[in-house]
Structure 1
Amino acid sequence: MTRMMPDLPETMRVVEIAAPGGPEVLQPATRTLPVPGHGEILIRVAYAGVNRPDALQRAGAYAPPPGASPLPGLEAAGHVVAVGQGVARWKPGDAVCALLPGGGYAEYATCPADHALPVPAGMGLREAACLPETFFTVWTNVFLRGRLQAGERFLVHGGTSGIGTTAIQLARAFGARVFATAGTNDKCNVCLRLGAERAINHRAEDFLAVMKAEGGADLILDMVGGSYLPRNVRALADDGRLVQIAFLTGPKVELNFAEVMVRRLTITGSTLRPQSVEAKARIAADLERHVWPLLAAGKVAPVMDQTFALDRAADAHARMEGGTHIGKIVLAVA
């Protein structure tokens, strides 16, 4: 039996994608309140995180998985207001942050109950809304797929993005030597404050030369792609690993795989949204066990950029795509 708070509205405010295009296609609208299915919860959204996949979906390049809400928004924080059948952990009134299959740009959103996590002790809902998409992505790609170990040299590109700021902090917390690239000296200084031992201004320095001088990177996390791909391969130490999570400058490039074979390199990558409900639940459990204590202790924290009202989602996307932001952008919904 579904358990829910009384007096829930029948409709809700949302931001929808009117047609594929630029930020201006994000338009306020009204939708019927979703109902949690078996194993799901309904969240009254206080804040929703803004991420690159939202912009890709808006542009028509990243379709929601089957059955997911067509609304953008892959992470949110707020309070549980309804619980579907089969849900034992959560009850109406609980404060949570959650990885969503879609639908975060709305006053209410549903998700599998096992994709929700408690708001870390001492943290507000605005900060908690920045955790799921970014921390799920970093954990699975840096620590599970990338197998980062203490003492290894780790290079992350885009060090002041939401992914970058999270990867720097977590890698440092688990004992790795962290290197990061960024596009300005001010952004490089942010990377250093977060725990990078070396920040590389890619407009003034060659990250390949820097990493080769250090003995090569044991692991590289890249979301740039394009011309970075062959340079990443050359920047790896023998037996190094390259994990690709996005292609801001394109997915196609000419690459000499002989070097991959001779130096025993690993090239891998992943996207989060298409993974199974079970796989995401396992990542959530890992995060709660290994990372949530670091958040509660203040050893790791989301880096916040700017907050926009829900109906200004277009402005939030314009800021993200402008490339001047540092850390996470969120939408204030409640």
Structure 2
Amino acid sequence: MIPKTMRAVVLTGPTLAEEVKITDYPVPQVRPGWVLVKVKAFGLNHSEQILRLSEIQADYITKPIIPGIECVGEIADPSDSDFRPGQKVVALMGGMGRSFHGSYAEYVLLPARQVFAVSSELSWKEMAAVPETYFTAWGSLFEGLNLTAGDTLLIRGGTCALGYAAIQIAKALGCRVIATTHRGNKIPLLAEADEAVLDDGHLAGRISGVTKALDLVGPRNLRDTLQTVKKGGIVCDTGILGGVYTLNGFDPIKDIPNGVYLTGFFSNYPTQQVITDIFTFLQEHHLSPVVGTAFEFEQIRDACIALDGGKVNGKIVVTV
């Protein structure tokens, strides 16, 4: 039986982590083309922090809004879709938590095209670390970088959830991995990489043999990253950990070395095939998703404080 009300985090304006609270809110009414998902767990993301602190003021954000760009759970009402009640699913992106209500709730109504069936023996907590993080890592490595077992991969900004996922996938594939962090005390956290490097913003000339580079720091250091790869190498710019969102004055002719390729990955377009491939890869390689810290839904305020503090090593997960 689906209740009439649910617990949810509802935002109407800029909200500090300390101000986040759970309120009662109506369970969404199902309509054609959309499915109702009973949320079992969800991961926290930097983009939700941006929404909560500032982006919510933008005209294109529907308000009030329940944040959350991803979740794992079960189909509560399949509406007119091919899903069945109780089916295990993941959902991510496509406007979740911005154009329509997201996953910081007990139930979420989602476009059927943004919901994907999964078969997995992982716990809900482990599954919740997968959707956005592993989809972005997967797309960056294989669609963006065309990664193969013979590559030497540089991951710039390795001590974030996405960095850990990329290291895990690349090592399972058979690559040599060089990972960086700008904090010396986090070097031990990169033990799974073949080489851990303290990043002072200038890596060119300090490392060699790199054929592919995943830049999670972003535009702040991108010019330098382009200088670290061999001729014929590829750089994929995926993250914005450096706090710089665009690169003004970028000159492609001078800033991209001859024979080096620059690409990016935008994680707004997941597909059932890719989601299936990711969970199959995890199972075949006996990989457990990297969970930094797990909170219960009642602790969502503490989870948001942890997110904003940036001190959790790995994915922050909330179980509902």
Range of TM-score over shorter length: 0.7 to 0.9
Which residue in the other structure is 1:72 paired with? 67
Is 2:1 aligned against 1:13?
A: no
Compared with structure 1, are the counterparts of its residues 232 and 253 closer, same or farther at alpha carbon in structure 2 (3 Å cutoff)? farther
Is 2:204 aligned against 1:208?
A: yes
TM-score (norm 1): 0.82
Displacement of 1:21: 4.2
Match among 304, 311, 314 for residue 324 of structure 1: 311
Which residue in the other structure is 2:221 paired with? 228
Which residue in the other structure is 2:51 paired with? 57
The AA in structure 1 aligned to 2:230 is: A
Matches of 2:257 and 2:42, distance apart in 1: 45
Is 2:196 aligned against 1:199?
A: yes
Tell me the matched-pair count: 311
1:275-324 deviation digits (Å, cap 9, x = unpaired):
xxxx422xx31231x32222224532211111223243232222123222
Determine helix, strand or coil for the equivalent of 1:42.
strand
Matches of 1:13 and 1:105, distance apart in 2: 9
The AA in structure 1 aligned to 2:139 is: T
Displacement of 1:120: 4.6
Any gaps of 5 or more consecutive residues in structure 2?
Answer: none
Displacement of 1:65: 7.3
Asked if the contact 1:181–1:207 (Cα under 8 Å) also holds between the matched residues in 2, the reply is: no
What percentage of aligned pairs have identical amino acids?
28
Determine helix, strand or coil for the equivalent of 2:225.
helix
Which residue in the other structure is 2:281 paired with? 294
Asked if the contact 1:19–1:25 (Cα under 8 Å) also holds between the matched residues in 2, the reply is: no
The AA in structure 2 aligned to 1:105 is: Y
Asked if the contact 1:16–1:28 (Cα under 8 Å) also holds between the matched residues in 2, the reply is: yes
Determine helix, strand or coil for the equivalent of 1:96.
strand
Displacement of 1:229: 1.7
**After superposition, where does 1:1-334 map in structure 2 within 5 Å?**
7-61=1-55, 70-85=65-80, 87-88=81-82, 90-100=83-93, 101-102=96-97, 103-184=102-183, 187-193=186-192, 196-202=193-199, 207-211=203-207, 214-215=208-209, 217-248=210-241, 249-251=243-245, 252=247, 254-255=249-250, 257-260=252-255, 262-273=257-268, 279-281=269-271, 284-288=272-276, 290-297=277-284, 299-333=286-320
TM-score (norm 2): 0.86
Any gaps of 5 or more consecutive residues in structure 1?
Answer: 1-6, 274-278
Matches of 2:280 and 2:74, distance apart in 1: 21
Compared with structure 1, are the counterparts of its residues 74 and 227 closer, same or farther at alpha carbon in structure 2 (3 Å cutoff)? closer
Matches of 1:197 and 1:147, distance apart in 2: 20
Displacement of 1:98: 2.2
Compared with structure 1, are the counterparts of its residues 24 and 17 closer, same or farther at alpha carbon in structure 2 (3 Å cutoff)? farther
Compared with structure 1, are the counterparts of its residues 155 and 253 closer, same or farther at alpha carbon in structure 2 (3 Å cutoff)? farther
Displacement of 1:127: 0.8
Displacement of 1:232: 0.9
Which residue in the other structure is 1:4 paired with? none
Displacement of 1:165: 0.9
Displacement of 1:10: 1.0
Asked if the contact 1:139–1:287 (Cα under 8 Å) also holds between the matched residues in 2, the reply is: no
Matches of 1:97 and 1:51, distance apart in 2: 16
Matches of 1:67 and 1:146, distance apart in 2: 35
Matches of 2:122 and 2:206, distance apart in 1: 37
Matches of 1:262 and 1:45, distance apart in 2: 47
Displacement of 1:189: 3.0
RMSD in angstroms over aligned alpha carbons?
2.7
Determine helix, strand or coil for the equivalent of 1:224.
coil
1:138-177 deviation digits (Å, cap 9, x = unpaired):
1222211222222112111221311011111112222322
Matches of 2:188 and 2:119, distance apart in 1: 27
Asked if the contact 2:17–2:301 (Cα under 8 Å) also holds between the matched residues in 1, the reply is: yes
